[in-house]
Amino acid sequence: MLQLEEARERILAAIQPLAAETVLLSAAARRFLASDVVAPIDLPPFDNSAVDGYAVRAEDTKSASQDSPMSLRPALRIPAGADLRGSLQPGTCARIFTGSPLPTGADAVVMQEDVTAERDEILFREPGKPWENVRLQGEDVKSGSVVLRMGEPLAPGAVALLGALGLQAVAVCRRPVVEVLGTGDELQETGAPLGPGRIYESNRAALASLLERDGAIAKIFPLVSDNLDETRTALRHALETSDAVITTGGVSVGELDFVKEAFTNLGGDLDFWRVAIKPGKPFVFGKWEGKFLFGLPGNPVSAFVTALMLVRPAILRWQGAVETRLPSHPAVAAEAFTNRGGRRHFMRVRVDNAGRAHLTGAQASHLLVSLAHANGLVDVPPNTVIEQGAPVEVMRFDF
């Protein structure tokens, strides 16, 4: 049985970032850069004012004080967006606004709250300090410098930076198309009363929403019954129309578990099955003609946890992401976390804003209420009790 880290490495080693495509900036958030971004201009592009006030030559106001204000004639008026910069003559000042270009000659802006404006003269009661309230050209970004690196996620803040640099579009890696399949004779579509012995199918929507959040284009495949031929036909069709197929159920050791057999019948190459984690031990990864199979367990919590741990990294790597682990942070166990089993147990917790991690309920892999209330997982080692008050690391999935 593989350790989780080894399973993840095998998956990531098999996956290459998909081809680059160009997207408008308005659609770029949450995508990953396919190449480094080099700044085409300085930011700010020109020296400009940080406040509404008066641009001065600091030298001209250096002897200003409360008792003996200095008077300067407002010789220029420079609204934001002005294209005529003009130059500030000694002994004068310029009415200026936030974002207005600084006239040549000026080296300070005094806030309007700090002056007395008369009709033809502006009274300064304290000296303007050199470069105060001036935003300098290039202080944020120098033209020609690398501002964002290949594989970095385009958070909204990065989109702001790219927009300010005048980029209309960026190159990002294509999003993977995944087909999400559910297998099992007991599964029923929602929308009709439950038949005897049936349950409503819930994994496909859960996994599709989980993986879409990380950039996958998820397609819901019709339910597949526990039958070898049907499973094989479904797998072939799904593999042909996607980059990867995510199945749930049918990967255990029961005689009605057909996913592995159907996949190898198609000529698929099984890389591994079974990973030493709880929930989620049965897990299949395989390749078929450049496509991939992720065979997840049927139990909803097992499917969810293996999708987070083993499918999500692949979804991110296809998009060119460098970082594929879940975000995590330290917290304190609000109660004891007990793992009496021989496999690492990823327990569902809800961590509050004070950094206290609470179990969300019983931890069996079919229990959905404790999944619905969780915002993170804590990796509890085999045969271990984490005492109340002990430090834990919480992997978050509520981003």
299 binds ligand AMP (CB under 6 A): yes
Residue 180 pairs in a beta bridge with 220, 246
166: region left, alpha or beta (phi > 0 left; psi from -120 to 50 alpha): left
Shorter beta-carbon distance to Mg ion: residue 215 or 250: 250
Task: Choose which of 114, 121, 126, 186 interacts with ligand AMP (CB under 6 A).
Answer: 186
320 binds ligand AMP (CB under 6 A): no
Contact 94, 112 (CB under 8 A): no
Shorter beta-carbon distance to ligand AMP: residue 17 or 182: 182
Shorter beta-carbon distance to ligand AMP: residue 162 or 238: 238
In this structure, the number of other CB atoms found within 10 A of the CB of residue 179 comes to 24
Residue among 157, 161, 135, 160 at smallest CA distance from 147: 161
Contact 275, 2 (CB under 8 A): yes
Shorter beta-carbon distance to ligand AMP: residue 55 or 303: 303
Q: Which of residues 187-206 bind ligand AMP (CB under 6 A)?
A: 187, 199, 201-203
Token duo for residue 27: 């659609």
Task: Choose which of 17, 250, 268, 286 interacts with ligand AMP (CB under 6 A).
Answer: 250
Token duo for residue 185: 């004779």
Task: Choose which of 300, 313, 320, 376 interacts with ligand AMP (CB under 6 A).
Answer: 300
Tell me the CA distances in angstroms from 327 to 158, 159, 309, 374, one per residue in order.
19, 21, 12, 15
Interacting span for ligand AMP (CB under 6 A) from 126-134, 183-191, 209-217, 340-348: 183-191
State the Cα–Cα distance between residues 158 and 160, nearest whole angstrom.
Answer: 5
| Residue 248, contacted partner among ligand AMP, Mg ion, none, CB below 5-8 A by kind | ligand AMP
231 binds ligand AMP (CB under 6 A): no
Minimum Å gap between C-beta 295 and ligand AMP is 9
Minimum Å gap between C-beta 139 and ligand AMP is 55
Q: Coil, helix or strand for 213? A: helix
Contact 39, 144 (CB under 8 A): yes
Shorter beta-carbon distance to ligand AMP: residue 248 or 306: 248
Q: Which residues bind ligand AMP (CB under 6 A)?
A: 182, 184, 186-187, 199, 201-203, 248-250, 252, 254, 297-300
